[in-house]
Structure 1
Amino acid sequence: MEHVENIQSIKANKKSKSTSKNKPNNQKWAVLSISSIPLVMTLGNSMLIPVLPAMEKNIGISPFQSSMIITVYSILAIIFIPIAGFLSDHIGRKKVIIPSLAIAAIGGLISAWAGWKMDNPYWIILIGRALQGIGAAGAFPIVLPLVGDMFKTDEEVSSSLGLIETSNTLGKVLSPILGAFLAGFFWFIPFFSIPIFCLISILLMVFLVKTPNKREKPLPFKQFIDNIKDTFKNNGKWLYAVFIIGIILMFVLFAVLFYLSDTLEKVYDVKDVKKGLLLAIPLGGLCIASYITGKLIKENKVLMKWLTFGGIVLLVASIVTLSFSKAMGFMITLFLLSGIGIGVGLPCLDAFITSGIEKQERGTVSSIYSSMRFIGVAAGPPVMAIMMKHAENSLFYILGGLSVIAAIATFIAIKPETEEAK
């Protein structure tokens, strides 16, 4: 009898070990699948940046009008992200993400059809881009709370978020190359790629991502609103700081990308894939910095603060130095340094949000944070187009000044030392 019990015990131990081995592997596949969403959403937006000058020529629009092709996407995302976050807290993350990817795919098809078949496609392209923005609102921002739901420890969450942010930035690296390559055939081809990417992401989400079986019952709406108010009351200072920093970093990033794309084509006559490769250099620095930072920070909020501060200081120094020369090699080098600075800060900001907010409000709060980031994305290209026309000599000082505000907000408002001392 004792022998039988021992055999059963050994079998149980083996089963337990097997389960513990399989679970991390399943979670790895799940995280990689989830990482496809920011990759797809980033490709769907950033891929168009190197194509904007070609659009201006082919459909007869101004640089400001072409910048609106990026901006309208972001404006609709800003409006719908908080709604998507609220829904994800109440009906489940996947039930919001998958239909949102389908809406983004439809938007891509509309823009592609307009560019292919219409003589004056600008306004229909904007309608398609608006639909893409609505789809993006329910896709990428919901990834952050989904990762928070899937893991129990802050270390697992921050490490996974590092991979998510890396996927986001990898999308930014691939975007200019892929966009320039596809546009080399016909300028509207990049729009056709968006539904294909969305379909791949939908299939990965359906088959490889299993959300936790036990979901906490959603709170009544009034109690939910009261909890959100309490969250901002108790965490308002550092939350608002993270929102401001997120806006500024994304504003500077997309303003710089718009400037670099325009300057390479119009000043240096660099086009197509070569331009895409040059645009990918600063974004590659951003991607690598995000990946390393995500691995490094773990649960250390003090480290997160000082890495964010250091990254922004590097951004300030490189952006201001850009005002001294327009030589192409000089510009690319300093844009690379600014990309590294932004890449260091973004995973830290993600981790502050997901580890500092309770699960029941996490979807909504992280969605508001994503809306803030999209404000920067929306404002960057058109503001840069205006500055290039009216304030070309001072535009890098303006961007540097905004980055200084982000550094001050990090230094003064984010105080993890006092939180950990409690």
Structure 2
Amino acid sequence: MAEPTTVRYPVTTRAFGLAIIVLSGLQLMVVLDGTVANLALARLQDDLGLSDAGRNWVVTAYALAFGGLMLLGGRIGDALGRKRMFLVGVGLFTLSSLLCGLAVNEATLIISRALQGTGAAIAAPTALALVATTFAPGPARNQAIAIFAAMTGVGSILGLIIGGALTEFSWRWIFLINVPIGVAIVVGGVVALRETDHERLSLDVPGAVLGTLGCTAVVFGISEGPSFGWQHPAVLGSLTAGLLLLAGFLYVERTAANPLLPFVLFTDRDRVATFVAIFFAGAVMFSMTVYVALFVQDILQFPPLRAGLGFIPFAVGMGIGLAAASTLVTRVAPRWLIATGAVVMIIGLLYGSTLDGSATYFANLFVPVIGIGFGVGLAVVPLPLCAVTGVAETEIGPLTAITQVAQTLGGPLALAVIGAMATSRTISLGGVGGKAADMDPQQLWALGEGYTFALLGCAVCAALAGFAALFIRFTPQQVAAAQAAQEAVQRA
């Protein structure tokens, strides 16, 4: 009888070293790049002459490619080797960052941002998988997971601050700064990471392509509707094509040997409600940061760095909400935690929708920004746990990945609708698109009304997340069991 093969891990004692610097550095760069552009949108629009829809596409193109291809990226790593695909993903992300920094018009920037998202979709899931194959179970892996997870929070905050600081000098540097960092990660990855065992798997490439293109076409149609007119052939054609592509995606997922989105996951009503709540919670965070950043820069005339610093109270409020939810999640039914967080978000967003150019930061924005952050923190702790409640440990990983995709795709899809609302509101009040600096007082007022109307759209998304949460029937005991199972999987 053959003896079982002993798994040898490159790192067995302490996580600190080149390997975790490489893996967590990639996670930091990917998360940071998802937010860093928000503070540069106003300058980007002025410098490149972007349309309102084009401005939103700068953040949407990245998120659509990242979210739409993330599941496929993880499967490619399993099939072709995680180290190899990690290096390919980082290389593509680095090259496309250079192209973003050198962009000369709307089209080249948006295409480059989509390539960035594609690189991130390949590198990010393989980086997380490499944590499990690089660090031995026990203290080393626990430390590595903690450092890796911390990069998500750090990247979200640093993205706003660094984005604001670099934009003061030039918006191009928010992308060009990735080039030397990406090169260093590739070199470090070649040295510090070990290739994993891999086997041929049937990859659901058609599903990934159809789903991503379908979402992109729908977003394009909704985004361009207010500018082109809803009867314009390009708008109608895009919406029709998007729906047909998504219908093709559903058909492929039902017949694929190894589907990205197994339909069996949607037989549980509680889990469906959880995914809906996750989708709309992601929509709130993504869209709210875009329009608050635009409002404080274009209407209140904040420089980018000051606008970025203005988001720090949001992070503080979110941290308080996270701490409170982490304590309460095993004692209070998750639906009530999520619904309470949604109500807090709604109150803050509704108040924000009433503001105009006479608002000041400390009198009108400071408390609502903290409150919205607290509401987000209260909601985002129980949602991922509800997604994996009551499933076998072998299903926790795939469900966690699908949860991330739902959250990531919620943002750009909602931003398309909310952006269309904002643009239509501005146009209906006599406003125009283009540079805020070139607008007369009436046009600037109309622009501000469009921005605050977008916050009303964010409040609707928060309400939908809270409403969906009311259908989640998991008990605190079930959530506690899911939390323990999730921790066991991370330690395995």
Structure 1 residues 123 and 323: CA distance shift in structure 2, 3 A: closer
Contact 2:94 2:183 in 1 (8 A): yes
Q: Aligned partners of 1:148, 1:296: CA distance in 2, in Å?
A: 27
Q: Aligned partners of 1:169, 1:367: CA distance in 2, in Å?
A: 18
Q: TM-score, normalised by structure 1?
A: 0.75
Q: 1:316 and 2:346 equivalent?
A: yes
In the TM superposition, residue 219 of structure 1 has moved relative to its aligned partner by 7.5
Contact 2:389 2:478 in 1 (8 A): no
Contact 2:288 2:458 in 1 (8 A): no
Question: Which shifted more, 143-152 or 336-345?
Answer: 143-152
Q: Determine which of 74, 77, 81 is the counterpart of 2:66.
A: 77
Q: Determine which of 262, 265, 268 is the counterpart of 1:232.
A: 265
Structure 1 residues 144 and 376: CA distance shift in structure 2, 3 A: farther
In the TM superposition, residue 367 of structure 1 has moved relative to its aligned partner by 3.4
Q: Aligned partners of 1:415, 1:175: CA distance in 2, in Å?
A: 35
RMSD: 4.1
Q: What aligned pairs does 1:20-39 form with structure 2 within 5 A after superposition?
A: 23=12, 25-26=14-15, 34-39=23-28
Q: 1:87 and 2:81 equivalent?
A: no
Q: What aligned pairs does 1:48-127 form with structure 2 within 5 A after superposition?
A: 48-91=37-80, 93-114=82-103, 118=104, 121-127=105-111
Q: Secondary structure at the match of 1:413?
A: coil
Q: Determine which of 228, 245, 259 is the counterpart of 2:291.
A: 259
Amino acid at match of 1:385: G
Q: Aligned partners of 2:168, 2:300: CA distance in 1, in Å?
A: 18
Contact 2:101 2:176 in 1 (8 A): yes
| 2:273 alignment counterpart | 241
Contact 1:84 1:367 in 2 (8 A): no
Contact 1:105 1:199 in 2 (8 A): yes
Return the structure number with greater helix share: 1
Deviations 1:166-210 (A, max 9, x none): 422321211122122212222312110122333444456556667
Contact 1:165 1:346 in 2 (8 A): no
Deviations 1:40-80 (A, max 9, x none): 11222311111111111111122321111111112222331
Q: Aligned partners of 1:301, 1:94: CA distance in 2, in Å?
A: 41
In the TM superposition, residue 276 of structure 1 has moved relative to its aligned partner by 1.9
Runs of at least 5 residues in structure 1 that lack an aligned partner in the other structure? 1-21
Percent of matched pairs sharing the same residue: 18
Structure 1 residues 385 and 405: CA distance shift in structure 2, 3 A: closer
Amino acid at match of 1:316: I
Q: Aligned partners of 1:352, 1:232: CA distance in 2, in Å?
A: 13
Q: Aligned partners of 2:169, 2:390: CA distance in 1, in Å?
A: 47
Amino acid at match of 1:320: L
Runs of at least 5 residues in structure 2 that lack an aligned partner in the other structure? 1-10, 204-254, 426-449, 483-492
Q: 1:134 and 2:118 equivalent?
A: yes
Q: Aligned partners of 1:240, 1:96: CA distance in 2, in Å?
A: 32
Contact 1:40 1:201 in 2 (8 A): no
Deviations 1:62-104 (A, max 9, x none): 2321111111112222331221132244455444333212211
Q: 1:408 and 2:455 equivalent?
A: no
Q: Aligned partners of 2:340, 2:132: CA distance in 1, in Å?
A: 26
Q: What aligned pairs does 1:3-18 form with structure 2 within 5 A after superposition?
A: none
Name the count of aligned residue pairs: 390
Deviations 1:332-391 (A, max 9, x none): 321222123223433443445567665665554433333222222323544443333334
In the TM superposition, residue 106 of structure 1 has moved relative to its aligned partner by 1.0
Contact 1:102 1:199 in 2 (8 A): yes
| 1:178 alignment counterpart | 162
Q: TM-score, normalised by structure 2?
A: 0.66
| 1:339 alignment counterpart | 373
| 1:15 alignment counterpart | none
Q: 1:270 and 2:302 equivalent?
A: yes
Contact 1:253 1:380 in 2 (8 A): no
